[in-house]
Amino acid sequence: MINSHDILETIRMIDSENLDVRTITMGISLFDCADEDAARACGKIYDKICRCAGNLVKTGEDISKEYGIPIIHKRISVTPIAMIAAASRGKNPVCFAKALDRAAKSTGVNFIGGYSALVHKGFGPGDRALIDSIPQALSETELVCSSVNVGTTKAGINMDAVEKMGRVVLDVAKATAADNCIGAAKLVVFCNAPEDNPFMAGAFHGPGEADCAVNVGVSGPGVVRAALAKAGDCRMDEVANIVKKTAFKVTRMGQLVAREASRRLHVPFGIVDLSLAPTPAVGDSVAHILEEMGLESCGAHGTTAALALLNDAVKKGGIMASSHVGGLSGAFIPVTEDAGMIDAARCGSLSLTKLEAMTSVCSVGLDMIPVPGDTPPEILSAILADEAAIGMVNSKTTAVRLIPAIGKQAGDELNFGGLLGGGPVMEVNRWSPLKLIRRGGRIPAPIQSLKN
C-alpha cells in the first residue's frame, strides 16, 4: 500500500496549504474560421469553440472530484484574433471579442484569452485595428482577455507599438473606470510571449500550436512556504532542495491532471506550466515564501536573490515531473493577487523599482500593479519599454499588467475583490520620458539573439 505518511502529506497540502491545479486551459486554433465576412467568421469561431470546449468544464469538475484535487479554473485560449480578423472586411474587430465572450459563456469557462496581436517586429494587417479596439472590446465584454506582444529577443522591441500600448492601457482603464478599471487587469503587454501559456490574462494559442491542445497550470505557493517553515533554519542549498522537491510533487499532480484531461477530452496534451501562482487567500502567497526564507518584509534588500533561487528551484524540481513543460513556468509576483505583496506594498517595503528588479529573475513581469490614474501615457509606455528590455536582453518572458486607477492617487486603495484582489496605488517616477517614447522605431535585437 502507499505509504500513509505520503497520503496524509497530500491531504494536508490540499486541505490546509492551498494546493491546487490552477487552470486547465484548452488552446483552440481559429485559423480555419477566417472569413471575408466578419459575421460569418464570428459564427464559425463561436461554433468551433463550443464544439471543442463543450465538455471542458464538466471534464475538469469530474477529474477534480475523482482525484480529490481542486481545479480552480477552466479556460480557453485562441489564435491571436488579429490574425483571423485580418481576413475580414470592415475596420472594427470588436464583433470578434463579442463572439469570444458568447462562446466563453456558453461553455461555462471563466475567461477566454486571445484578443491579441503579435507586433514585435511590425504591424501586420489587422494588428492596428485590433489594438485600437482593445478599450472598447474589454469594456463591452466580460470574459475576454487581451494581450499584445511588443518585443522578442530575436526581433528587438517595436517602440511604435510600445508608444501605442501606453495609450491603450490608459484608455482601457478609463473605459472601465466605473468598474474599478478592471479592463486593465485583462490586458497584458508582453515581450517574448509564450505561445502555450495557460494563465490569464496573457493566454493565447500561438500560430505554431496544434489545432487543439490542453495546457495545465499548476500552483502551490502555500505548499512551498509550509515546507520551508517545517525545515526551519537551514542553509540556502537546503532551501533550494526543499523547493525543488515540493515543486516536483506539485508538478506531478499537474501532469496527471493534464494527461487525464487530454484523454477524456480527446485532445492532445500540450504542456504543464510550472508556476507558483498566488491568490489573495491567506497561505497562498509568493511574498510569504520569500519572507519565510528570512526577509522581514518582501521588497527588502535580498528579495531579488531570494526570488532568483525560488524561480530557479521551481523549474528544476518541476522539469523532471512533466514530459512537456512550457508556458511561463516560474514564480509569479502579481501585487494585488498576493496577500504578502499587498501588505509589503502598503507598509512601503515594496516599491515599483524593486518590483522591476524582481522581474529580471522571476517568470513574468510587473503584474497587477495599480498606478495613479493621472499617470501620463508616455510614462506607461516607458514602463512597458523597460520591462520589454529586461525580457529581450535576458531571453525571458516579461509581461506588464498595470492598472491606471482612474481618479485615485498613490496610497489610495483599488479593490477588485475575488482572485484579482486589491491593493494600494503605487507611485511612478514622474520624470518625463516623452522624447524617448515619441521617437518610435525599433530597438534592434540584442547580440545574444544571433545564436545561429
Partner 1 sequence: MRAVITVIGKDMVGILARVSKICAENEVNVLEVTQSILQDLFAMIMLVDISNCKVPFSDLSDQLTEVGSGMNLVIHVMHEDIFNSMHRI
Contact residues toward partner 1 (CB under 8 A) are 1-4, 6-11, 14-15, 62, 65-69, 249, 252-253, 255-256
Nearer to partner 1, 15 or 235 (CB): 15
Burial label, 282 (beta-carbon count in 10 A; 0-12, 13-18, 19+): exposed
Q: How far is the CB of 1 from partner 1 (least distance, A)?
A: 5
Nearer to partner 1, 30 or 256 (CB): 256
Please state, in angstroms and rounded to a whole number, the distance separating the CA atoms of residues 373 and 170: 8
Nearer to partner 1, 5 or 301 (CB): 5
Please state, in angstroms and rounded to a whole number, the distance separating the CA atoms of residues 170 and 147: 15
Beta-carbon contacts of 11 under 8 Å, excluding residues fewer than 6 positions away, are none
Nearer to partner 1, 191 or 257 (CB): 257
Q: How far is the CB of 321 from partner 1 (least distance, A)?
A: 8
Please state, in angstroms and rounded to a whole number, the distance separating the CA atoms of residues 440 and 379: 14
Please state, in angstroms and rounded to a whole number, the distance separating the CA atoms of residues 347 and 356: 18
Instruction: List b or e across 107-127, with b for residues whose CB sees 16 or more CB atoms inside 10 angstroms.
Output: bebbbbbbbbbbbbbebeebb
Nearer to partner 1, 22 or 408 (CB): 22
Terminal CA-CA length for the chain: 52
Q: How far is the CB of 204 from partner 1 (least distance, A)?
A: 29
Q: How far is the CB of 17 from partner 1 (least distance, A)?
A: 13
Q: How far is the CB of 4 from partner 1 (least distance, A)?
A: 5
Ramachandran assignment for 296, one of left (phi > 0), alpha (psi -120 to 50 degrees), beta (any other): alpha
Q: How far is the CB of 65 from partner 1 (least distance, A)?
A: 5
Grid cell for residue 200? 490569464
Grid cell for residue 235? 542553509
Nearer to partner 1, 62 or 413 (CB): 62
Is residue 26 within 8 A of residue 214, CB to CB? The reply is yes
Provide the 10 A C-beta neighbour count for residue 106.
Answer: 13
Nearer to partner 1, 11 or 231 (CB): 11
Q: How far is the CB of 270 from partner 1 (least distance, A)?
A: 18
